[in-house]
Structure formats: C-alpha cells, structure tokens
Structure 1
Amino acid sequence: MIWDFEFTFDVMPSLLGGLWVTVQLTLIGYTIALVLGLLIAIVRRAPVIGAIVHFVMEFIRTTPLIIQVVFVFFLLPASLNVPLLGPVPITAFTVGVTVLGIHYAAYTAEVYRSGIEGVAQGQWEAARALSLPTGRTWGAVVLPQAIRKVIPALGNYLIAMFKDTPLLFAIGVAELLTRAQRVGSESFRMTEAMTMVGFLFLVVSIPSAILIRRLEKRYVAV
C-alpha cells in the first residue's frame, strides 16, 4: 500500500484534536492520582481506617482499568441534581478522567508509602523532640524527603497513564486512538491513521521521559 500524504495532512487536524483530549485526560488524571495518592498514603498509617483503605486500593489495583471505567460509566446516571445549579450532565470525559485518576492513585499511594517509610526514624524522633505540630512534621520534615526519593516512580506512572488513555474508547471518549479508528474505518486507510497515532504518542512520551530523567538527576541525587 502506497502512503497517501494528502490523506495524512487532511486527517491531521482531527488527530491533533484527539491528542489534545488525550493530553487533557493525562494531566487532569495525573493530578488526581498525585493528590489522592498522597492522601491515601498518609491515611493508611492510621490503624483501622488504614486497613480499610488498603483493602479498597488493593481491589482497584487488581482489577482491569477498562472494566472499572465501563462499570462506573454505566452505573452512574446521565446527570446529577446539584443545588443551585440544577441537573449537571455526567460526561464520558468526566467519568474517564476520574476513574483514571483514582485507578492510578492506588499505585501512587504505594509509591508515596515507600518514600515515607524510607525517611529515617531519627527524623520523626527529632520532630517529636522539637514538639513540632503534626502538620509541620509532615510538611517540613517527612514529605520533602519522601517525595524527592520517589520522583522517578511517579514519573513513570505519568507515561503509563498517557499510554492507558486509549482504554477510554470503551465509553466513547474521543481521544487520539478513537479518532484514528473512526478516520481509518471511514476511509479504509488504517495504515496512515494508526502510524500517525504511534508517531504522536512518541512526540509526547519522549520529551516527557527526558523531563522526568532531568528531574530525577536534579532532585533524587541531592
């Protein structure tokens, strides 16, 4: 099959639109995963609540993402009645990015936990000896050391999440792969469409990997 450059240029705007949706899903979902994962890692240190949270996170980690996305999407109503706002539609994008963030929060929580446990016991004892408040101990002593150690692992999950966004095609999110499949099925030219998908994924993934490596060298080695 001869490569059709004219067709490639014609469909590029649609593919770039899909890439923008994919980037949005990744950035928002990753933000949710980072914040929620940190909260989970801290809560897990509590005796009773920690055990419950651990069980829930293990359940999320051991079930496929695509099943979670489909289950939540079809379980939720089409809209929610919000006071003062009225019915607020629940879109496939909202469901997809939320489930994506929660799913990866189960992984980032374990990364944070390993970093927290890696903080020397003497640091905790020094904070107690100085009578530092709990919030001050976590914010000024523990977390700066813990997070610096786990930057490489957290960065890897950013790239992994970016590559998992195509799974949201199952609920109709018009991300990059979904648009390429539509273009290819309508034109019967899957080679160009799928090749460009791979190329666009590389365009984003490779600079991200380089940035993560630089952050690792800057902060982890300190």
Structure 2
Amino acid sequence: MNWDWDYAWDIVPDLWDGMLVALEATAYGYVLALVLGLALALLRRSRRRWVSLPVAAVSEFIRSTPLLVQLFFMYYMLPTIGITWGALTVGALTLGIHYATYTSEVYRSGIDNVPVGQWEAATALNLPTRRVWTSVILPQAVPRVIPALANYVIAMFKDTPQLIAISVVEVFAVAREENSQTFQTLEPFTMAGIFYLVIALAMSAVARLVERRFGKVRST
C-alpha cells in the first residue's frame, strides 16, 4: 500500500470539521460531568439513606454498563418521552452523565482527604453549612483532584468515536466515510489517528498548566 500525500492533505479540512464536532461534544459533556459529578458526590454524602443509597446504586449501574449501550438507550429512548434532541446533543449529554459517575468519585476522594481539623474548625465557628462547603471544604478538596479530573477530559475525548453509533459525524465517522467512498484505508484512518493524538497531547499540556496554576491547596 502506497501513501498518497495529495489525498491525505485533501481530506484534512473534512477531518478538521469532524474534530470540531468531537471537541464540541467533549466540551459540553465535560462541563456536565464536572457539575453533575459534584452534585452526585454531595448527595452520596447525605446522611439520609433514602437519598444516598439510590444515588450510589444509579452511579454504580451507569459505571457498570458500556457507554455504547447508554448512547443507544438515550438516543432511542428520549423520543419516546417527547424529547427530540439532535444526535450531538444526546451524545454530549450521555458522555456527561457517564463520566459524572467517575468525577463524583474523584470529588469524594478529595473531600475525604480534607483534614478532619478543618471540619472541626468550621463546626466550632458555627458556620452555615453552605459556607462550610463553599469557603472551607471545596476550596481544599478540588485542587487536590485536579490531575484526576483532567485525565477524564482526555478519556472522554478519546471516547467520542463511539458517537458514530448514533450518527454523530466526528473524526472517525469522517475517516470511515472517506474510506467507503474511495476504498483508501491507510490515509483517512492514519490522519484521523494523528488528529486524535495531537489534540490529546495538547489537552495533556493544558492540564499540566492548570494543575500548576490551580492545583495548590489554599490555606484557610
């Protein structure tokens, strides 16, 4: 098999369009995973077992089932209850929910590692619960887990090819379409792999910068 440079460069614009779709799904999904993951972590810590146990069970169920199955379920289930969203929206939503169950465990780990003395000091000062979390606990817990949270954005990005199952046209879908039209396999899939590699390395570099900038625990 001979490498065709002309063809490889010709498909770069189409691959880049697919990459933008993958990045969009990752961005929306990751924001959802961060917010929902924190909510799940706090609910898991509830002293009311009727709250914490169902949340734990649902989280475990989502973590224990494949993302691909969840994508199919969401894509075909939502219209049956009157929700007709586009494939990209459903894909980003599913990615966010799936990874929220992982980020919630990361948040829980960070919260559990906050020194007991900080909790005792907040109690001694009779701080309102909301202020305890926003001013004492979370500012110390979140910086501890930034590296783990950053790893999940890269993992989510690398899972975006699975969105092809619900007709989202991201990089892998573009490469497969090019292959089906030209019967040239080497160039489209190699270029797609290079796109994923470059973006993942860039994300890793940004993650290290964020870790150095925000990864230090603020003293209280």
Give the TM-score taking structure 1 as reference length: 0.93
1:38 alignment partner in structure 2: 38
CA distance in 2, matches of 1:78, 1:45: 34
* Structure 1 unpaired stretches of 5+: 81-87
Paired residues of 2:78 and 2:84 also in contact (CA < 8 A): no
Partner amino acid for 2:102? Y
Partner amino acid for 1:131? N
Give the secondary-structure state (helix, strand or coil) at the position aligned to 1:90. coil
1:212 alignment partner in structure 2: 207
1:52 alignment partner in structure 2: 54
Question: Deviations 1:72-92 (Å, cap 9, x if unpaired)?
Answer: 111121784xxxxxxx74111
Answer yes or no: is 1:21 the counterpart of 2:21.
Answer: yes
Question: Deviations 1:28-85 (Å, cap 9, x if unpaired)?
Answer: 10000000000110111113201110000000001000001011111121784xxxxx
Answer yes or no: is 1:184 the counterpart of 2:179.
Answer: yes
2:127 alignment partner in structure 1: 132
CA distance in 2, matches of 1:221, 1:131: 26
CA distance in 1, matches of 2:80, 2:73: 14
Paired residues of 1:152 and 1:212 also in contact (CA < 8 A): yes
1:10 alignment partner in structure 2: 10
Paired-residue identity, %: 48
Aligned counterpart for 1:77 among listed residues 60, 69, 79: 79
Answer yes or no: is 1:168 the counterpart of 2:170.
Answer: no
Give the secondary-structure state (helix, strand or coil) at the position aligned to 1:150. helix
Question: Deviations 1:99-130 (Å, cap 9, x if unpaired)?
Answer: 10000000000000000010111111111111
Paired residues of 1:38 and 1:109 also in contact (CA < 8 A): yes
CA distance in 1, matches of 2:188, 2:66: 27
CA distance in 1, matches of 2:116, 2:69: 41
CA distance in 2, matches of 1:213, 1:24: 21
CA distance in 1, matches of 2:201, 2:88: 25
Give the TM-score taking structure 2 as reference length: 0.93
Superposition pairs of residues 56-135 of structure 1, within 5 angstroms: 56-77=58-79, 80=82, 89-135=84-130
Task: Number of aligned residue pairs: give it.
Answer: 215
Paired residues of 1:78 and 1:90 also in contact (CA < 8 A): no
CA distance in 1, matches of 2:3, 2:215: 45
Paired residues of 2:19 and 2:171 also in contact (CA < 8 A): yes
Q: 1:26 to 1:187 in 2, by over 3 A?
A: same
Paired residues of 2:118 and 2:136 also in contact (CA < 8 A): yes
* Structure 2 unpaired stretches of 5+: none
CA distance in 1, matches of 2:207, 2:127: 33
- Using the TM superposition, name which of 210-219 and 48-57 deviates more: 210-219
- Could you tell me how far 1:221 is from its partner in structure 2? 4.9
CA distance in 2, matches of 1:94, 1:215: 27
Q: Which runs of 4+ in 1 moved over 6 A?
A: none
CA distance in 1, matches of 2:80, 2:21: 21
Superposition RMSD on alpha carbons, in Å? 1.4
2:196 alignment partner in structure 1: 201
Paired residues of 1:40 and 1:109 also in contact (CA < 8 A): yes
- Could you tell me how far 1:214 is from its partner in structure 2? 2.7
2:148 alignment partner in structure 1: 153
